[in-house]
Every structure is written in structure tokens, then in C-alpha cells.
Structure 1
Amino acid sequence: MNNEQFRLEAVALSDPGRMRAVNEDTAAVDAEFGFAIVADGMGGHNAGNIASRIAVDTLRERLPVKIQHFRAGARQPRPHQFAEQLIGEANRAIYTTALSHSDCQGMGTTLALWLLHGRHAALLHIGDSRIYRLRSGQLQQLTRDDSLLRDQVESGLISAAEAATSHNRHFVTRALGQSLQAAVHIHEEEVRAGDVYLLCSDGLTDMVGDSDIELIVDLLKTNLELAAQHLIQLANDHGGTDNISVALVRVLGADTAKPGLFSRLLGWLKH
């Protein structure tokens, strides 16, 4: 994406992990239009991959049109508003597909969406797929998991240590496709040149601690493809019990030069 504020570098990778035959995650990025998406499907007879694909395809196909209108001066609706509307369309498509196909009954998906507009980013999410930001070497989780475990920890029913080994760790309390209406969390923040945003499914965060994620993303932020590969490899090395999806977006100043020969060579040597 090129405008007067920022240029973006972005990559998305998804891996089935070591224990699952089907990858029910879907991930996508679009640096030109400034968005990244991760969805983690669930339910039905492996129909989670259908749910996550519907969600991501709906956004990937419809967002560029809305963004073009916004950039052309159509200031209403705002980006977080039209993004929420499109997520609502995806939710209804998943829900009605599940009703009309017996092998898709009960399917749903989490969703994390990052959308740049001007000097701000809209963050929309539902479920336990997360959005992180690396700024000045510090990784911060920007989303709150919609999960039974998080609710139990916050209410004091169990400790964080108990939550780490709980059998309820994958029970989400909100997801797309569960009803005709979906309550999506929406947050906006100002972005800065140098920020790196990470969107991921719980296949990463269940296997890799935040401190290790921070180390890898900070060390390899100039080579997002390599950073994503290392994150997925580490999750697999730690067991790979679930599908693993990663989307990384690096925010650069519009006048930031593209990596030179030395930087590309350094990335190749790290690989």
C-alpha cells in the first residue's frame, strides 16, 4: 500500500500442524488495500474449513471495493463500520449454509481483522484468534479472548496456572455462524512507522509463549516471511496439536526505502 502516510509489508502463512488431518484455518493479507485476516474454523464434520473460508473470502472480495470508495472521499460509513457490516454478511452466510447442509451443522469460526486507514487501524475480532502489536521491541496483545477459560480466570474461579492445563481451553464463547447476529469487538488505534502487527490462531499461542513470539518477530521483522515460518516451526516443534495460522504486517513510512542487497542477504543467511 502506498499513500502519504505509510507503506505496508505483509505475509500470511497457514499450516495444519502435526496432529490434524484437515487445516480448518484460513489466513490472508492484502498490502495494497491494507488489511490482514485470520480465521479459525470449528464444528461439523470438518466443516470448520468451510466456515473460515466463507469468512475470509467474503472480506477479501468485498473489502477492496469499500476501501476504494472510502479513499475516493466517501467518508460514510467509516472503515470499522463497513468492516463490521461485511463481517455480519459473512456471519449470516455461514449460519445459513450450516442450516441448509447437514454435514455443516454447528460449524463456525473465529475471526481477527486488521484494517489500516490513514494513520489509524481498525481491529475487529470474535473468538480466540488474537491480534498483537510489536512496538519498540515490546509485544502487546490487543484483543481479549472470547473463551470460557478467560471468563473463569477474570471471575476468579480458576488461576492462570490452572487455565494453562484446563480441558476447556478451546471452548469459545463467541464465534461467527452461531446465530444470525454476531457481536464483534471493535477497537481503533493510531499506528506508527515501525509497528509490526501479528494476527494468529490459537494453534500458535497454545504452543508458543508471548516472550518467544516477541523475540522471533522483533529479530526477524525485516523478513516477515521468515518470521512467519519460524513461528509456525516453533509451534510444531512444541507439539503442533492444532492448525497454525499467522499473518504479519509491518508498517513503514511512505518514504522508507525497500530492503537493499545487504538486508536481503542477511535474511537469506538467517534462513
Structure 2
Amino acid sequence: MNRLHHRLELACLSDTGRVRTLNEDAVAVDGEHGIAVIADGMGGHRAGEVASRMALDILMERLPAKISQFRAGARQPMPLQFAEQIIAEANRAVYTAARQQTGCAGMGTTLAMVLLHGRSMALLHVGDSRIYRLRDGRLQLLTRDDSLLHDQVELGVIAIEDARESHNRHLVTQAIGIGPSVSVHLQEERVSSGDIFLLCTDGLSDLVEEDDIELIVDSLQTNLPLAASHLVQLANDNGGYDNISLALVRVLDGQPAVARPGWLARLFGWLAS
């Protein structure tokens, strides 16, 4: 039976912002394997850049082969599980480097990733980088920030209307590389043609209201690079005090996968030729 496989259109952009001199964010997309990842590094001088780049390099080196094996029918865990395992590898690598390399003590990075497989999107995240979905013109936050501020709002310590001014907004409670192990948030979302997933660091989500993100992405959904550029520009117009990084992933209808003929059919075809 032919199955309809979704295709992806992707765009990504990373900007240093208007205040900082170093960009410690990292972003990568791979349309062939259905991957988008962002990371927001933290640490001493250049250490955040090291952590975010190291984590993304490990993911983008290991994931494509795993995805290809999964698509070929290899017996292995589902994408959500093998992606979590690779994130654990990245965590150990960053943690070890932080302990062994001069100037990298205490470094770490947030991480947000989406991975398309079949009609589902695997979502994985650690820290306060976010994943949104625009569907039918409505923007929805799909992730929960690992931050002290979010915990305080949930416990009623801080009113949600006061959260934007809190000094605790950038204190994350989970990150890649700050401990020997890490807890990764995992979820699966069924996709529909036309869905747009937005991954972003807090340099965007802190400075651009969700209503404005929704308007820009919905209005420019047929031109994702332009949408990305407008979002970064608006964050800079609103202060640009942090690095700004994002990836946009648009789900499109694909072509039916053509079933390969069985060996017997191929044999008869060869004999008849």
C-alpha cells in the first residue's frame, strides 16, 4: 500500500543581537532527514558557544544515520527514544569537556529539537528554548520552560503578569552539560499539512509577544526565510539584548511512497526482458 509521506520546508536564522558581541546560540536544520535543532549556550568566556556547538554537532552527526536506518525498517527504538539517547551522549560530552577544558567550567546549553517521522513530529527539549506550533492561524506553545521563574509562577510565588520583570527569568533548572545526566522532555505530535513549527531561543520569546509571532508567521508562512528575518528584526527593534535564534519548519503534503516490487516480481521482470 502506498503511504503519503510529508515533506518539510525549513528556514533558520541566528543573530548576535544589539548588545552582545558573541553569539552563543547554535541552530541547524536538515530537510532530508526531517530535523531542526536550536541551542542556547551558557558559561564563561566563549564557553557557551562551545557547549551549544558541541551539542548540535553530536546530534547532527549521529541522527541522520539513525533516521535512515529507521526508515529502512531496521529493528531499533522509535525516533523519540534514539534521539533521547543521542542527547544523553551530547550531555556527557559537554559535561566532560566542562570538567576538563580550561575556561569551560560550568558551561551548558539549552536544547530544542523536532524530528519528523511518518505523520508524527517528535519533540525534545531541555531548558527554556521553546517549540511553538502554528495551526489554522493559531500559535500554541508546546513546551514547558525548565526555569526557576516558570516554577515560581506554577507555585503561585509570582503572578504571571509580573513574570516579565522578574530577575529569575533566565535561571534554568535543566540544561545540557551541567550534570552527568539530564532529564529530557519528550512528546509526540501528529502533524497536518500546513502546520508550522517554530523553535526559538529566549532572545526571541522574551522580546516578541506571542501575538506578534503568530501574526508574522501566519502572514509570511509561504516565505519562511522572510518570516524568520522579520522575527529577528522585531526582537532587535525591541531591544535585542540577547542572541536571537530560530528555526521554522513547515509541513507539506508529500508524494506517495512508491512500493518496491518484491523479489519474485523482479525475477519475472528480468526473465521477460
TM-score tier by shorter-chain length is over 0.9
1:64 aligns with 2:64: yes
Equivalence for 1:141: 141
Secondary structure of the 2:178 match is: coil
- Which sections of structure 2, spanning at least 5 residues, go unmatched? 257-273
TM superposition shift of 1:137: 0.2
TM superposition shift of 1:255: 4.6
TM superposition shift of 1:46: 2.6
Q: Summarize deviations over 1:76-115 as a string: whole Å, max 9, x none.
A: 2110011001000100010000111130000000000100
Q: Summarize deviations over 1:157-188 as a string: whole Å, max 9, x none.
A: 01012111011110000000011100000000
- Alignment RMSD (CA, Å): 1.1
Superposed, 1:26-105 pairs within 5 Å as 26-105=26-105
| Aligned CA distance change for structure 1 residues 132 and 75 (closer, same or farther; 3 Å) | farther
Secondary structure of the 1:103 match is: coil
Q: Identity over aligned residues, as a percent? A: 64
CA distance in 2, matches of 1:210, 1:217: 10
Superposed, 1:8-23 pairs within 5 Å as 8-23=8-23
Secondary structure of the 2:46 match is: coil
Equivalence for 1:128: 128
Secondary structure of the 2:81 match is: helix
Secondary structure of the 2:76 match is: coil
TM superposition shift of 1:43: 1.0
CA distance in 2, matches of 1:19, 1:200: 18
- Matched residue type, 2:207: M
CA distance in 1, matches of 2:8, 2:191: 12
CA distance in 1, matches of 2:107, 2:228: 27
Equivalence for 1:242: 242
Secondary structure of the 1:215 match is: helix
Secondary structure of the 1:8 match is: strand
Q: Which has the larger radius of gyration?
A: 2
Secondary structure of the 2:229 match is: helix
Equivalence for 1:259: none
TM superposition shift of 1:126: 0.4
TM-score normalised by L of structure 1: 0.92
CA distance in 2, matches of 1:127, 1:117: 24
Equivalence for 1:264: none
CA distance in 1, matches of 2:28, 2:13: 8
- Matched residue type, 2:20: R
CA distance in 2, matches of 1:207, 1:154: 22
Equivalence for 1:265: none
Q: Summarize deviations over 1:97-155 as a string: whole Å, max 9, x none.
A: 01111300000000001000000011000000000000000000000000000000000
CA distance in 2, matches of 1:205, 1:233: 13
- Matched residue type, 1:72: A
CA distance in 1, matches of 2:255, 2:73: 24
Secondary structure of the 1:29 match is: strand
TM superposition shift of 1:4: 2.9
TM superposition shift of 1:75: 4.1
Q: Summarize deviations over 1:193-247 as a string: whole Å, max 9, x none.
A: 0000000000001100000000000000100000000000000000001000010
- Which sections of structure 1, spanning at least 5 residues, go unmatched? 257-271
TM-score normalised by L of structure 2: 0.91
Aligned residues: 254
1:171 aligns with 2:171: yes
Secondary structure of the 1:233 match is: helix
Equivalence for 1:207: 207
